[in-house]
Amino acid sequence: MEIAGTLRTVREMGLVACTSCTRVWPAGTDRCGRCGHRLHTRAPMALQRVWAWWLVGVIAYVPANLYPMLSTRTLIASQEATIIGGAVDLARNGNWGIALVILTASVAIPLGKFLAIAMLALGVRHGSALSGSRRQQLYQVVEYIGRWSMIDVFVVAILASLVQLGAVASVSPGPASLFFALSVIFTMLSAQSFDSRLIWDAAREGRRA
Amino acid sequence: MLVPMTPFDVPQPIPPAPNAAGPDLAALIACPRCDAVYRAVQPGPGERAVCACCKTVLIAPRRRAGQHLIAVAVAVVVLVVAATLAPFLAIEAAGRRNASSVLDAALAFAANGPVAILALAVAALIVFIPVLRALLVIYVLGPVVLDRPPAPHAAAAFRLSEDLRPWSMAEIFVIGCAVALVKIADLAQVHFGPAFWMFAALVVLVVVQDGFMCRYSVWKSLER
Protein backbone atom coordinates (compact mmCIF):
# COMPACT_ATOMS: atom_id res chain seq x y z
CA MET A 1 0.00 0.00 0.00
CA GLU A 2 1.68 3.22 -1.12
CA ILE A 3 -0.82 5.40 0.66
CA ALA A 4 -0.33 3.70 4.01
CA GLY A 5 3.15 5.18 4.28
CA THR A 6 1.78 8.71 4.36
CA LEU A 7 -1.24 7.98 6.55
CA ARG A 8 -1.08 9.44 10.01
CA THR A 9 -2.50 7.92 13.13
CA VAL A 10 -4.60 9.70 15.70
CA ARG A 11 -1.93 9.12 18.32
CA GLU A 12 0.83 10.61 16.16
CA MET A 13 -1.21 13.77 15.81
CA GLY A 14 -1.54 14.11 19.55
CA LEU A 15 -5.25 13.43 19.44
CA VAL A 16 -7.46 10.71 20.86
CA ALA A 17 -10.13 8.81 18.91
CA CYS A 18 -13.43 7.37 20.07
CA THR A 19 -13.55 3.70 19.11
CA SER A 20 -17.31 3.71 19.47
CA CYS A 21 -18.28 6.54 17.10
CA THR A 22 -14.96 7.41 15.31
CA ARG A 23 -15.00 11.06 16.48
CA VAL A 24 -11.60 12.63 17.15
CA TRP A 25 -10.83 14.74 20.24
CA PRO A 26 -7.82 16.62 21.67
CA ALA A 27 -5.52 14.37 23.71
CA GLY A 28 -6.48 14.15 27.35
CA THR A 29 -10.22 14.34 26.72
CA ASP A 30 -11.92 11.98 29.15
CA ARG A 31 -15.20 11.13 27.48
CA CYS A 32 -16.43 11.40 23.91
CA GLY A 33 -18.66 14.46 23.59
CA ARG A 34 -20.73 12.80 20.89
CA CYS A 35 -21.48 9.32 22.26
CA GLY A 36 -20.22 9.38 25.86
CA HIS A 37 -17.75 6.55 25.38
CA ARG A 38 -14.59 6.60 27.52
CA LEU A 39 -11.59 7.72 25.50
CA HIS A 40 -8.21 6.02 25.61
CA THR A 41 -5.33 6.36 23.18
CA ARG A 42 -5.00 2.59 23.60
CA ALA A 43 -7.28 0.50 25.79
CA PRO A 44 -5.54 0.29 29.17
CA MET A 45 -4.33 -3.17 30.17
CA ALA A 46 -5.95 -4.57 27.04
CA LEU A 47 -3.61 -7.52 26.82
CA GLN A 48 -4.00 -8.43 30.50
CA ARG A 49 -7.75 -8.46 30.08
CA VAL A 50 -7.52 -10.52 26.90
CA TRP A 51 -5.38 -13.10 28.69
CA ALA A 52 -7.60 -13.18 31.79
CA TRP A 53 -10.78 -13.88 29.79
CA TRP A 54 -8.87 -16.25 27.54
CA LEU A 55 -7.68 -18.28 30.52
CA VAL A 56 -11.12 -18.69 32.12
CA GLY A 57 -12.46 -19.52 28.67
CA VAL A 58 -9.92 -22.31 28.26
CA ILE A 59 -10.54 -23.55 31.80
CA ALA A 60 -14.32 -23.69 31.26
CA TYR A 61 -13.78 -25.58 28.02
CA VAL A 62 -12.27 -28.56 29.88
CA PRO A 63 -15.35 -29.60 31.91
CA ALA A 64 -17.46 -28.74 28.85
CA ASN A 65 -15.86 -31.73 27.17
CA LEU A 66 -15.69 -34.07 30.16
CA TYR A 67 -19.28 -33.81 31.42
CA PRO A 68 -22.30 -34.96 29.42
CA MET A 69 -23.98 -32.36 27.24
CA LEU A 70 -27.26 -34.25 26.95
CA SER A 71 -28.85 -37.16 28.73
CA THR A 72 -31.47 -39.09 26.82
CA ARG A 73 -33.95 -41.48 28.38
CA THR A 74 -36.08 -43.77 26.21
CA LEU A 75 -38.24 -46.75 27.08
CA ILE A 76 -35.36 -49.15 26.81
CA ALA A 77 -32.27 -47.23 27.68
CA SER A 78 -30.86 -44.08 29.12
CA GLN A 79 -27.63 -42.60 27.90
CA GLU A 80 -25.48 -39.56 28.41
CA ALA A 81 -23.43 -38.04 25.64
CA THR A 82 -20.52 -35.63 25.72
CA ILE A 83 -19.93 -33.22 22.84
CA ILE A 84 -17.52 -35.49 21.03
CA GLY A 85 -19.44 -38.64 21.99
CA GLY A 86 -22.63 -37.18 20.54
CA ALA A 87 -20.92 -36.33 17.27
CA VAL A 88 -19.42 -39.82 17.06
CA ASP A 89 -22.88 -41.35 17.60
CA LEU A 90 -24.31 -39.21 14.83
CA ALA A 91 -21.54 -40.22 12.47
CA ARG A 92 -22.10 -43.91 13.32
CA ASN A 93 -25.76 -43.52 12.43
CA GLY A 94 -24.77 -42.14 9.06
CA ASN A 95 -25.43 -38.44 9.81
CA TRP A 96 -21.98 -37.38 8.67
CA GLY A 97 -23.02 -33.86 7.75
CA ILE A 98 -24.49 -32.99 11.12
CA ALA A 99 -21.62 -34.70 12.95
CA LEU A 100 -19.26 -32.49 10.99
CA VAL A 101 -21.27 -29.34 11.78
CA ILE A 102 -21.17 -30.16 15.49
CA LEU A 103 -17.48 -31.03 15.51
CA THR A 104 -16.73 -27.82 13.63
CA ALA A 105 -18.89 -25.58 15.82
CA SER A 106 -18.04 -27.15 19.17
CA VAL A 107 -14.47 -28.38 18.80
CA ALA A 108 -12.66 -26.90 15.81
CA ILE A 109 -13.96 -23.34 16.17
CA PRO A 110 -13.42 -23.02 19.96
CA LEU A 111 -9.90 -24.46 19.73
CA GLY A 112 -9.16 -22.31 16.69
CA LYS A 113 -10.37 -19.24 18.57
CA PHE A 114 -8.15 -19.97 21.57
CA LEU A 115 -5.17 -20.35 19.24
CA ALA A 116 -5.99 -17.26 17.19
CA ILE A 117 -6.48 -14.96 20.19
CA ALA A 118 -3.27 -16.25 21.77
CA MET A 119 -1.43 -15.66 18.50
CA LEU A 120 -2.77 -12.11 18.19
CA ALA A 121 -1.90 -11.25 21.78
CA LEU A 122 1.57 -12.80 21.54
CA GLY A 123 2.08 -11.05 18.21
CA VAL A 124 1.63 -7.64 19.85
CA ARG A 125 4.36 -8.38 22.39
CA HIS A 126 6.83 -10.41 20.42
CA GLY A 127 6.11 -9.56 16.80
CA SER A 128 4.47 -11.84 14.30
CA ALA A 129 5.33 -13.47 11.02
CA LEU A 130 1.94 -12.39 9.68
CA SER A 131 1.42 -8.93 8.21
CA GLY A 132 -0.83 -6.39 9.90
CA SER A 133 -3.68 -6.83 7.47
CA ARG A 134 -3.51 -10.64 7.78
CA ARG A 135 -3.75 -10.36 11.56
CA GLN A 136 -6.56 -7.83 11.26
CA GLN A 137 -8.46 -10.32 9.08
CA LEU A 138 -7.80 -13.06 11.61
CA TYR A 139 -9.16 -10.84 14.38
CA GLN A 140 -12.30 -10.02 12.40
CA VAL A 141 -12.90 -13.71 11.71
CA VAL A 142 -12.51 -14.52 15.42
CA GLU A 143 -14.90 -11.72 16.36
CA TYR A 144 -17.46 -12.77 13.76
CA ILE A 145 -17.34 -16.48 14.31
CA GLY A 146 -17.18 -16.47 18.11
CA ARG A 147 -20.92 -16.12 18.61
CA TRP A 148 -21.68 -19.07 16.36
CA SER A 149 -20.27 -21.50 18.90
CA MET A 150 -23.41 -20.90 20.96
CA ILE A 151 -25.23 -23.05 18.44
CA ASP A 152 -24.56 -26.21 20.43
CA VAL A 153 -26.08 -24.71 23.57
CA PHE A 154 -29.18 -23.76 21.60
CA VAL A 155 -29.44 -27.26 20.15
CA VAL A 156 -29.43 -28.67 23.69
CA ALA A 157 -32.10 -26.14 24.73
CA ILE A 158 -34.32 -27.03 21.79
CA LEU A 159 -33.94 -30.77 22.27
CA ALA A 160 -34.53 -30.56 26.01
CA SER A 161 -37.74 -28.57 25.62
CA LEU A 162 -39.04 -30.46 22.60
CA VAL A 163 -38.27 -34.06 23.44
CA GLN A 164 -40.50 -34.44 26.48
CA LEU A 165 -42.61 -37.43 25.57
CA GLY A 166 -43.02 -38.89 29.03
CA ALA A 167 -41.87 -42.49 29.16
CA VAL A 168 -41.29 -42.77 25.41
CA ALA A 169 -38.36 -40.42 25.26
CA SER A 170 -37.08 -37.45 27.17
CA VAL A 171 -33.96 -35.35 26.94
CA SER A 172 -32.46 -33.19 29.64
CA PRO A 173 -29.44 -30.88 29.54
CA GLY A 174 -26.22 -31.94 31.19
CA PRO A 175 -23.73 -29.79 33.15
CA ALA A 176 -21.45 -29.48 30.12
CA SER A 177 -23.97 -27.14 28.49
CA LEU A 178 -23.35 -24.55 31.21
CA PHE A 179 -19.56 -24.84 31.00
CA PHE A 180 -19.65 -24.71 27.22
CA ALA A 181 -21.81 -21.58 27.23
CA LEU A 182 -19.48 -19.95 29.76
CA SER A 183 -16.45 -20.85 27.65
CA VAL A 184 -18.05 -19.26 24.56
CA ILE A 185 -19.00 -16.11 26.49
CA PHE A 186 -15.55 -15.74 28.09
CA THR A 187 -13.86 -16.20 24.72
CA MET A 188 -16.11 -13.54 23.18
CA LEU A 189 -15.18 -11.16 26.00
CA SER A 190 -11.51 -11.99 25.46
CA ALA A 191 -11.76 -11.13 21.77
CA GLN A 192 -13.67 -7.92 22.54
CA SER A 193 -11.01 -6.81 25.04
CA PHE A 194 -8.36 -6.95 22.35
CA ASP A 195 -7.50 -3.50 20.99
CA SER A 196 -6.80 -4.15 17.32
CA ARG A 197 -4.92 -0.85 17.06
CA LEU A 198 -2.09 -2.65 18.86
CA ILE A 199 -1.61 -4.85 15.79
CA TRP A 200 -0.94 -1.80 13.68
CA ASP A 201 1.26 -0.03 16.22
CA ALA A 202 3.72 -2.90 16.07
CA ALA A 203 3.54 -3.07 12.27
CA ARG A 204 4.12 0.70 11.94
CA GLU A 205 7.02 0.71 14.38
CA GLY A 206 8.56 -2.15 12.44
CA ARG A 207 8.36 -0.13 9.22
CA ARG A 208 9.95 2.90 10.81
CA ALA A 209 12.79 1.03 12.47
CA MET B 1 -26.75 -7.08 -5.61
CA LEU B 2 -23.30 -5.79 -4.93
CA VAL B 3 -22.75 -2.43 -3.41
CA PRO B 4 -20.79 -0.32 -5.87
CA MET B 5 -17.49 0.52 -4.25
CA THR B 6 -15.55 3.67 -4.78
CA PRO B 7 -11.82 3.36 -4.58
CA PHE B 8 -11.56 5.14 -1.29
CA ASP B 9 -12.58 8.74 -1.74
CA VAL B 10 -12.27 9.81 1.87
CA PRO B 11 -8.64 9.96 2.72
CA GLN B 12 -6.65 13.09 2.42
CA PRO B 13 -3.68 12.30 4.63
CA ILE B 14 -3.62 15.14 7.06
CA PRO B 15 -0.52 17.35 7.24
CA PRO B 16 0.99 17.64 10.68
CA ALA B 17 -0.66 20.56 12.41
CA PRO B 18 0.98 22.13 15.46
CA ASN B 19 -2.34 23.27 16.80
CA ALA B 20 -4.74 20.57 15.72
CA ALA B 21 -7.35 21.42 18.32
CA GLY B 22 -9.10 23.66 15.85
CA PRO B 23 -12.77 23.69 15.01
CA ASP B 24 -12.27 21.18 12.20
CA LEU B 25 -11.61 18.25 14.55
CA ALA B 26 -15.26 17.40 13.94
CA ALA B 27 -14.47 16.89 10.27
CA LEU B 28 -12.02 14.10 11.01
CA ILE B 29 -12.79 10.41 11.21
CA ALA B 30 -10.61 7.85 12.97
CA CYS B 31 -10.54 4.20 12.00
CA PRO B 32 -11.47 2.38 15.21
CA ARG B 33 -9.52 -0.68 14.09
CA CYS B 34 -6.12 0.75 13.21
CA ASP B 35 -6.10 4.38 14.43
CA ALA B 36 -5.57 5.92 10.97
CA VAL B 37 -7.15 9.35 10.69
CA TYR B 38 -8.88 10.90 7.69
CA ARG B 39 -10.70 14.02 6.70
CA ALA B 40 -14.20 12.67 6.27
CA VAL B 41 -15.87 13.10 2.90
CA GLN B 42 -19.45 11.92 2.73
CA PRO B 43 -19.71 9.26 -0.01
CA GLY B 44 -22.89 9.08 -2.06
CA PRO B 45 -25.67 6.66 -1.16
CA GLY B 46 -24.64 3.08 -1.92
CA GLU B 47 -20.96 4.00 -1.98
CA ARG B 48 -18.55 3.09 0.76
CA ALA B 49 -15.54 4.73 2.31
CA VAL B 50 -12.95 2.19 3.34
CA CYS B 51 -9.88 2.63 5.53
CA ALA B 52 -6.82 2.59 3.27
CA CYS B 53 -4.74 0.93 5.96
CA CYS B 54 -6.87 -1.95 7.25
CA LYS B 55 -9.86 -2.02 4.84
CA THR B 56 -12.45 -1.45 7.55
CA VAL B 57 -15.65 0.06 6.14
CA LEU B 58 -15.89 3.48 7.76
CA ILE B 59 -18.88 5.09 6.05
CA ALA B 60 -21.58 3.32 4.02
CA PRO B 61 -24.68 5.49 3.72
CA ARG B 62 -27.85 4.13 2.10
CA ARG B 63 -30.77 6.09 0.75
CA ARG B 64 -33.64 6.33 3.25
CA ALA B 65 -31.74 4.03 5.60
CA GLY B 66 -33.53 5.51 8.62
CA GLN B 67 -36.99 4.55 7.38
CA HIS B 68 -35.80 1.09 6.39
CA LEU B 69 -34.13 0.49 9.72
CA ILE B 70 -37.22 1.54 11.65
CA ALA B 71 -39.45 -0.64 9.51
CA VAL B 72 -37.16 -3.61 10.07
CA ALA B 73 -36.94 -2.90 13.80
CA VAL B 74 -40.74 -2.81 14.15
CA ALA B 75 -40.96 -6.09 12.24
CA VAL B 76 -38.33 -7.64 14.52
CA VAL B 77 -40.27 -6.67 17.65
CA VAL B 78 -43.54 -8.04 16.28
CA LEU B 79 -41.91 -11.24 15.06
CA VAL B 80 -39.97 -11.99 18.21
CA VAL B 81 -42.93 -11.34 20.50
CA ALA B 82 -45.28 -13.41 18.35
CA ALA B 83 -42.72 -16.15 17.82
CA THR B 84 -41.99 -16.35 21.51
CA LEU B 85 -45.58 -17.07 22.38
CA ALA B 86 -46.71 -19.21 19.45
CA PRO B 87 -45.78 -22.89 19.23
CA PHE B 88 -42.44 -23.25 17.57
CA LEU B 89 -41.86 -26.91 16.86
CA ALA B 90 -43.85 -30.01 17.71
CA ILE B 91 -42.83 -33.64 17.69
CA GLU B 92 -44.82 -36.79 17.67
CA ALA B 93 -43.69 -40.31 18.51
CA ALA B 94 -45.54 -43.42 19.63
CA GLY B 95 -48.80 -41.52 19.86
CA ARG B 96 -47.44 -38.85 22.17
CA ARG B 97 -47.11 -35.27 21.09
CA ASN B 98 -45.22 -32.33 22.51
CA ALA B 99 -45.11 -28.75 21.27
CA SER B 100 -42.54 -26.26 22.37
CA SER B 101 -42.30 -22.48 22.08
CA VAL B 102 -39.13 -20.43 21.96
CA LEU B 103 -39.67 -19.54 25.60
CA ASP B 104 -39.92 -23.25 26.46
CA ALA B 105 -36.59 -23.77 24.74
CA ALA B 106 -35.00 -21.02 26.79
CA LEU B 107 -36.54 -22.37 29.98
CA ALA B 108 -35.43 -25.93 29.24
CA PHE B 109 -32.49 -25.27 31.54
CA ALA B 110 -34.63 -23.80 34.31
CA ALA B 111 -35.53 -27.05 36.06
CA ASN B 112 -31.96 -28.22 36.20
CA GLY B 113 -30.28 -26.85 39.33
CA PRO B 114 -27.07 -24.93 38.62
CA VAL B 115 -27.71 -25.01 34.90
CA ALA B 116 -30.75 -22.77 35.56
CA ILE B 117 -28.63 -19.64 35.00
CA LEU B 118 -28.38 -20.76 31.41
CA ALA B 119 -32.15 -20.44 31.04
CA LEU B 120 -31.86 -16.76 31.77
CA ALA B 121 -28.88 -16.32 29.48
CA VAL B 122 -30.53 -18.15 26.59
CA ALA B 123 -33.77 -16.18 26.98
CA ALA B 124 -31.72 -12.98 26.92
CA LEU B 125 -29.66 -13.95 23.88
CA ILE B 126 -32.53 -15.07 21.66
CA VAL B 127 -35.48 -12.95 22.84
CA PHE B 128 -34.74 -9.98 25.10
CA ILE B 129 -31.57 -8.60 23.53
CA PRO B 130 -32.86 -8.71 19.92
CA VAL B 131 -36.07 -6.96 21.03
CA LEU B 132 -34.20 -4.43 23.14
CA ARG B 133 -31.88 -3.61 20.22
CA ALA B 134 -34.84 -3.11 17.90
CA LEU B 135 -36.58 -0.84 20.42
CA LEU B 136 -33.41 1.21 20.90
CA VAL B 137 -33.06 1.66 17.13
CA ILE B 138 -36.67 2.89 16.93
CA TYR B 139 -36.09 5.26 19.84
CA VAL B 140 -32.89 6.68 18.34
CA LEU B 141 -33.87 6.90 14.68
CA GLY B 142 -37.55 7.84 15.10
CA PRO B 143 -36.94 11.52 15.80
CA VAL B 144 -34.13 11.67 13.22
CA VAL B 145 -36.40 10.37 10.47
CA LEU B 146 -39.15 12.80 11.50
CA ASP B 147 -36.63 15.69 11.40
CA ARG B 148 -37.00 16.36 15.08
CA PRO B 149 -34.15 16.94 17.54
CA PRO B 150 -32.70 13.69 18.89
CA ALA B 151 -34.52 12.03 21.79
CA PRO B 152 -33.01 12.47 25.26
CA HIS B 153 -30.08 10.10 25.86
CA ALA B 154 -30.26 9.01 22.22
CA ALA B 155 -26.45 8.76 22.08
CA ALA B 156 -26.31 6.46 25.10
CA ALA B 157 -29.18 4.40 23.66
CA PHE B 158 -27.44 3.96 20.32
CA ARG B 159 -24.14 3.07 21.97
CA LEU B 160 -25.91 0.42 24.07
CA SER B 161 -27.57 -0.96 20.95
CA GLU B 162 -24.18 -1.22 19.21
CA ASP B 163 -22.52 -2.79 22.28
CA LEU B 164 -25.26 -5.43 22.36
CA ARG B 165 -24.84 -6.32 18.71
CA PRO B 166 -22.65 -9.42 19.23
CA TRP B 167 -24.96 -10.66 21.99
CA SER B 168 -28.08 -10.73 19.85
CA MET B 169 -28.21 -14.35 18.70
CA ALA B 170 -31.66 -14.99 17.25
CA GLU B 171 -30.21 -16.01 13.89
CA ILE B 172 -27.84 -18.50 15.50
CA PHE B 173 -30.81 -20.02 17.32
CA VAL B 174 -32.53 -20.66 13.97
CA ILE B 175 -29.55 -22.58 12.63
CA GLY B 176 -29.50 -24.45 15.95
CA CYS B 177 -33.07 -25.54 15.18
CA ALA B 178 -31.98 -27.04 11.89
CA VAL B 179 -29.31 -29.08 13.66
CA ALA B 180 -31.72 -30.19 16.38
CA LEU B 181 -34.28 -31.26 13.78
CA VAL B 182 -31.85 -33.55 12.03
CA LYS B 183 -30.84 -35.02 15.36
CA ILE B 184 -34.39 -36.06 16.22
CA ALA B 185 -35.66 -36.82 12.73
CA ASP B 186 -35.13 -40.55 13.27
CA LEU B 187 -36.65 -40.52 16.72
CA ALA B 188 -39.93 -38.76 16.04
CA GLN B 189 -42.02 -36.92 13.52
CA VAL B 190 -41.45 -33.17 13.54
CA HIS B 191 -44.06 -30.48 12.84
CA PHE B 192 -43.23 -26.84 12.21
CA GLY B 193 -45.30 -24.30 14.12
CA PRO B 194 -45.99 -20.75 12.86
CA ALA B 195 -43.27 -19.40 15.13
CA PHE B 196 -40.64 -21.38 13.26
CA TRP B 197 -41.36 -19.49 10.05
CA MET B 198 -41.47 -16.20 11.93
CA PHE B 199 -38.02 -16.87 13.29
CA ALA B 200 -36.75 -17.86 9.87
CA ALA B 201 -37.99 -14.51 8.53
CA LEU B 202 -36.22 -12.86 11.44
CA VAL B 203 -32.86 -14.14 10.24
CA VAL B 204 -33.35 -12.40 6.91
CA LEU B 205 -34.38 -9.19 8.68
CA VAL B 206 -31.30 -9.21 10.90
CA VAL B 207 -29.06 -9.48 7.84
CA VAL B 208 -30.96 -6.64 6.12
CA GLN B 209 -30.67 -4.50 9.24
CA ASP B 210 -26.91 -4.90 9.39
CA GLY B 211 -26.65 -4.02 5.72
CA PHE B 212 -28.49 -0.74 6.18
CA MET B 213 -26.83 0.33 9.39
CA CYS B 214 -24.18 2.99 8.80
CA ARG B 215 -23.00 3.96 12.26
CA TYR B 216 -21.18 7.03 11.06
CA SER B 217 -24.34 8.45 9.48
CA VAL B 218 -26.33 7.77 12.66
CA TRP B 219 -23.77 9.51 14.85
CA LYS B 220 -23.70 12.45 12.43
CA SER B 221 -27.46 12.75 12.59
CA LEU B 222 -27.41 12.70 16.40
CA GLU B 223 -24.99 15.61 16.50
CA ARG B 224 -27.63 18.19 15.67
- Give the pLDDT band of residue B224 (cuts 50, 70, 90): low
pLDDT in tens, A72-119: 887 777 888 888 888 888 788 777 887 888 888 888 999 999 999 999
Q: Domain span at residue A30?
A: 1-41
Q: Quick one: A6 and A102 in the same domain?
A: no
The total domain count for chain A is 2
Q: Which of B160, B179, B223 to mutate to test the interface with A (most CBs of A within 10 A)?
A: B179
Q: How far is CA A89 from CA A77, A99, B175, B209, in A?
A: 15, 8, 21, 39
- Return all residues near B189 (Cβ < 8 A) that are at least 6 apart: B91, B92, B93
Nearest by CB: B30 against A22, A34, A185:
A22
Task: Lowest mean pLDDT of A133-147, B130-144, B182-196, name the range.
Answer: B182-196
Q: Say what the pLDDT of residue A181 is.
A: 92
Q: Is the pLDDT of residue B114 over 90?
A: no
CB B198 within 8 A of CB B82: yes
Q: Say what the pLDDT of residue B9 is.
A: 42
- Residues in A closer than 8 angstroms to B94, CB to CB, are 165, 168
- Residues in B closer than 8 angstroms to A95, CB to CB, are 182-183
Q: Quick one: A120 and A164 in the same domain?
A: yes
* ipTM for this model: 0.81
Q: What is the mean pLDDT of residues A38-56?
A: 88
- Residues in B closer than 8 angstroms to A37, CB to CB, are 159
Alpha helices in B62-214 (DSSP H): 65-85, 102-107, 116-123, 129-145, 154-163, 170-184, 194-212
Q: Quick one: A105 and A157 in the same domain?
A: yes
pLDDT in tens, B85-112: 887 777 777 677 777 777 777 777 777 6
Please tell me the distance from the alpha carbon of residue A33 to that of residue A24, in angstroms, as a whole number: 10
CA atoms within 13 A on the CB side of B155: 17
Nearest CA in chain B to A148: B172
- Judging by beta carbons within 10 Å of its beta carbon (0-12, 13-18, 19+), is residue A2 exposed, middle or buried? exposed
pLDDT in tens, A180-199: 999 999 999 999 999 888 88
Q: Is the pLDDT of residue B3 over 50?
A: no
Please tell me the distance from the alpha carbon of residue B36 to that of residue B96, in angstroms, as a whole number: 62
Q: Quick one: A116 and A86 in the same domain?
A: yes
Q: Quick one: A26 and A48 in the same domain?
A: no
Q: Say what the pLDDT of residue B13 is.
A: 52
- Give the pLDDT band of residue A208 (cuts 50, 70, 90): low
Q: Quick one: A58 and A36 in the same domain?
A: no
Q: Quick one: A3 and A77 in the same domain?
A: no
Comparing CA positions, the residue from A29, A7, A79, A50 lying closest to residue A190 is: A50
Q: Say what the pLDDT of residue A59 is.
A: 95
Q: Say what the pLDDT of residue B100 is.
A: 78
Burial track A47-65 (b if 16+ CB lie within 10 A, e otherwise): bebbbebbebbbebbeebb
Q: What is the mean pLDDT of residues A17-23?
A: 85
Q: Quick one: A87 and A103 in the same domain?
A: yes
Task: Lowest mean pLDDT of A36-40, B18-22, B134-138, name the range.
Answer: B18-22
Q: Quick one: A36 and A101 in the same domain?
A: no
Q: Quick one: A63 and A14 in the same domain?
A: no
CB A16 within 8 A of CB A26: yes
Residue B118, Cβ neighbours under 10 Å: how many? 23
DSSP assignment letter at A168: S
Please tell me the distance from the alpha carbon of residue B124 to that of residue B120, in angstroms, as a whole number: 6
Q: Quick one: A1 and A32 in the same domain?
A: yes
Contact A168 B33 (CB under 8 A): no
Q: What is the mean pLDDT of residues A26-47?
A: 83
Please tell me the distance from the alpha carbon of residue A187 to that of residue A50, in angstroms, as a whole number: 9
State the first-to-last Cα distance of chain B, in angstroms, to the nearest integer.
33
pLDDT in tens, B24-72: 777 788 888 888 888 877 777 778 888 877 788 888 887 778 888 898 8
Mean pLDDT computed over every residue of chain A: 84
Mean pLDDT computed over every residue of chain B: 78
Comparing CA positions, the residue from B118, B123, B188, B126 lying closest to residue A72 is: B188
- Give the pLDDT band of residue A54 (cuts 50, 70, 90): very high
Q: What is the mean pLDDT of residues A33-44?
A: 82
Q: Is the pLDDT of residue A5 over 50?
A: no
